[in-house]
Amino acid sequence: MLQSLSPRLVFFGLAVTALIAMLFARVYLQDILGLAPCPLCMTQRLFVVLWGGIALIAALHNPAGLGRRIYAALCALAAVAGGAIAIRHVWIQHLPADQVPACGPSLEYMLETLPFSETLSLVLMGDGNCAETQWTFLGLSIPEQTLIMATGVMIVCLWQLFRK
């Protein structure tokens, strides 16, 4: 049954998944619930948009053979990177209170005042804002849900990469 799914349809499904995830994060979590994303959340969103964009381009291009594999590999890399950021975020959320890093300045402030490399380093380190679990669904925090989604996307992309 899975083999009957066209690569174009699979890539389109990945793109729609990213779109739904971003709409949920932006409209529901941010606008309706008023939850401000921390720097690690924003970085995870960046990778969701990246794999969604790659998947959309792949669906529109609909390449065969090598092209499909290249798109699948790029999409998988974006999912792995987003998953790695989510793992770091989950780790920070589970630190004992006395080991949580201090809260830092906002991402906007860092981008305006610090060199990009230093901003990137500080964002990837996470801070006290990232340790707060603001919302859960089925007992899972937002970064835990993002990690599950990124793992699923990676699995689908690897399947696209190696399928006949």
pLDDT band at 130 (very low <50, low <70, confident <90, very high): confident
pLDDT band at 28 (very low <50, low <70, confident <90, very high): very high
Helices and strands of the chain, counted as H and E runs: 7, 2
Cα torsion 53, 54, 58, 61: sign: positive
Tokens of 7: 């690569």
Q: What does the alpha-carbon distance between residue 19 and residue 33 come to, in Å, rounded to a whole number?
A: 19
**Per-residue pLDDT reduced to its tens digit, 32-41:** 999 988 888 9
**pLDDT at 71 (0 to 100):** 97
Average pLDDT over residues 8-32: 96
Q: Compute CA distances 8 → 5, 59, 66, 90, whole Å.
A: 8, 5, 14, 33
Q: Does CATH number 1.20.1550.10 belong to domain 2-162?
A: yes
**pLDDT at 2 (0 to 100):** 63
Instruction: With a cut of 70, say whether residue 128 has pLDDT above it.
Output: no
**pLDDT at 104 (0 to 100):** 67
Which has the higher per-residue pLDDT, 78 or 96? 78
Residue pair 157/73 in contact (Cβ under 8 Å)? The answer is yes
pLDDT band at 136 (very low <50, low <70, confident <90, very high): confident
Instruction: With a cut of 80, say whether residue 126 has pLDDT above it.
Output: no
Name the residue ranges covered by the structural domains of the chain.
Answer: 2-162
In this prediction, what percent of the chain has a pLDDT beyond 90? 61
Average pLDDT over residues 129-152: 90
